[in-house]
Structure 1
Amino acid sequence: MDCDRCGDDAVMHAAYSGAHLCADHFTRSVEKRVRRRIREDSLLSKDATPEEPETWVIGLSGGKDSVVLTEILYETFGKDPRVELVALSIHEGIEGYRDESLAASEELTDRLEMAHKVVGYEEEFGVKMDEVVEEDPENMAPCAYCGVFRRDLLESYAEELGADKLLTGHNLDDEAQTALMNFLEGDVRQVAKHFDASLGGFDEREESDSFVPRAKPLRDVPEKEVALYAHLADLPAHITECPHASEAYRGEIQELLLKLEENHPGTRHSIMSGYEELASLAAAAYDSSEGGELKECVECGSTTSGEVCRKCRLLTSMEAI
């Protein structure tokens, strides 16, 4: 098929829009959607100036999503004196996996001459993810532990780096899967927690209202299109699934959504459109009905609804083995 816009050979057909696009027009399309999302979420504050620029910390794992996000943000704001971009990578301690993705992250940030901070579970918590999986003190899926630890480090180091915003590379498929999982589980409270009214997006805060605002500029772009963009731009992305990934339920939701999208193009976009509105209503309802007194964790000082935050509870359970 030929590109709808110039007649060159098409590299992508988007069934949800009917568009056939060549490599050039496809990459422009992805960049346009990301930049539109940045505008609609009012990511760049009106108060940002060359004299007092904003610091945007990017969660850079080295996978296709975060690499594409970093590249587009650099192309858009790399020379904008109102924005300082800083990459933040987390080393979970997964042998033969994270080292390769960190190498990809370093290759990208070196080329872009971007500040890059790397922190690890072992240095911060005294454990490696491989050890957590082997011991499994709470009898949970590996992703459940890792999500808590990674979120803690992203938030704490974003704050330490003086971040005004924390940006992550969640794509349309990621967001639609989470939305559908929350809905099917009847977890209205989690729907409310995922909504970030300050940016019009979704954050992953769990217990804290003292957090660096998050944004997900790729959340309008399907996963396959992110992967194609990384390939066409020859970006150093490490595209390999984590060896500990075991979210069986999310995998089922992923297959379901892919089938629905195949039979009914546009399903993912429709889910997110409705979910965002529902999340806004749920967040407002919980804010008005619950005071939710927050306090400092007695172990680490982070904001939590209980005496001890979840991260510290998990680390204590590891020490008890």
Structure 2
Amino acid sequence: MECTKCGRDAVMHAAYSGSHLCEEHLRESVERRVRRRVREDDLVPRSATPEDPETWVIGLSGGKDSVVLTHILDETFAEDPRIEMIALTIHEGIEGYRDESVSACEELATELEMQHELVSYEEEFGVRMDDVVEDDPENMAACAYCGVFRRDLLSKYAEELGADKLLTGHNLDDEAQTALMNVLEGDVSQIAKHFDASLGAFDERSEQEEFVPRAKPLRDVPEKEVALYAHLADLPAHITECPHSSEAYRGEIQELLLKLEENHPGTRHSIMAGYEELAGIVADEYQGSDEEADLNECEECGATTTREKCRKCALLDSLAAV
């Protein structure tokens, strides 16, 4: 099959657009979408100057998504004096799996000459995910614990590192899965938060000093294209599924979306277009309403929460009681 743009041998077919792309034009396509998202979400404010640069903390896990995002951002902004980038890696304490991905992070950061910070659950919380899985006092999937702990550390260290924004490597498939899950579960609060987290509007949470605004520049790119980009660019990505991954419901949604995309190309893009419009409407309704949650300080760690004790501390207390 020939590349739609140049006639060279194609390496992939994007059914949602009808295009066949060679290696060069696939890489250009992925990079263009990331840079367009950066522009459309206004991630580089006009106020950023060499004297007062914008600081971005990039969540670098060592997987294909975060590695590709870090690589493209470095290629785009490494020589831009208005932007300072710091890679932040979280070690969950999963023997074998995370050690290899941390090595990938260190290799990439060294290659890019990017500041790299590594923090761990064990140092911060005194727990390792391998042990949490064995104890599991809340009878939850491992991903539920891990997600809470990871988000806490990303937010904490983004703030400590002076981040203006926290960038993560969520791709189109990730976002479409989350959107569909929130709709099917009727989770209105999460729909409202989506407007805040990934549209560049940053809404009410970002206007409060307690939160570092988040952005997802990779969210327009399908997962398979990210993986192919990582392979073609020979990036040090650790592409292996977590041994504790057990999000059965997300797995079902993933299979459903892949089947829908196969039969109806463009489904993921359509879901996100409609979801973002819905999220904006819901966020507007939540602003100033009686349903808008009051923010407090966690009685144990001082983190901002809607409860007396944040979810992280509640989980750590339950683990300590085992």
Code of the aligned partner of 2:70:
T
TM norm structure 2 = 0.96
Q: Give 1:1-321 correspondences, 5 Å limit.
A: 1-196=1-196, 199-200=199-200, 210-290=210-290, 291-321=292-322
Kept in 2: contact 1:197–1:280 (CA 8 A): no
- Give the Cα separation in 1 of the matches to 2:316 and 2:131: 12
Q: Deviations over 1:1-47 (max 9, x none)?
A: 10111110000110000001110011001000000000000000110
Structure 2 segments unaligned to the other structure (5+ residues): none
Code of the aligned partner of 1:319:
A
Q: CA deviation at 1:209?
A: 7.7
- Give the Cα separation in 1 of the matches to 2:116 and 2:145: 25
Code of the aligned partner of 1:100:
E
Q: CA deviation at 1:202?
A: 8.3
- Give the Cα separation in 1 of the matches to 2:269 and 2:149: 30
Kept in 2: contact 1:202–1:216 (CA 8 A): no
Q: Deviations over 1:73-108 (max 9, x none)?
A: 000001100000100000000001000000000000
Code of the aligned partner of 2:167:
L
Q: CA deviation at 1:133?
A: 0.6
Code of the aligned partner of 1:69:
L
**172-181 or 277-286, which deviates more:** 277-286
Structure 1 segments unaligned to the other structure (5+ residues): none
Kept in 2: contact 1:42–1:199 (CA 8 A): no
4+ runs of 1 displaced by more than 4 Å?
none
Kept in 1: contact 2:194–2:276 (CA 8 A): no
- Give the Cα separation in 1 of the matches to 2:258 and 2:108: 31
Change in CA separation of 1:197 and 1:126 when aligned onto 2, cut-off 3 Å:
closer
Change in CA separation of 1:6 and 1:16 when aligned onto 2, cut-off 3 Å:
same
Change in CA separation of 1:120 and 1:197 when aligned onto 2, cut-off 3 Å:
closer
- Give the Cα separation in 2 of the matches to 1:90 and 1:39: 28
- Give the Cα separation in 2 of the matches to 1:202 and 1:313: 28
Calculate percent identity across the aligned residue pairs. Answer: 77
**SS of equivalent to 2:287:** helix
- Give the Cα separation in 1 of the matches to 2:281 and 2:287: 10
TM norm structure 1 = 0.96
Kept in 2: contact 1:201–1:216 (CA 8 A): no
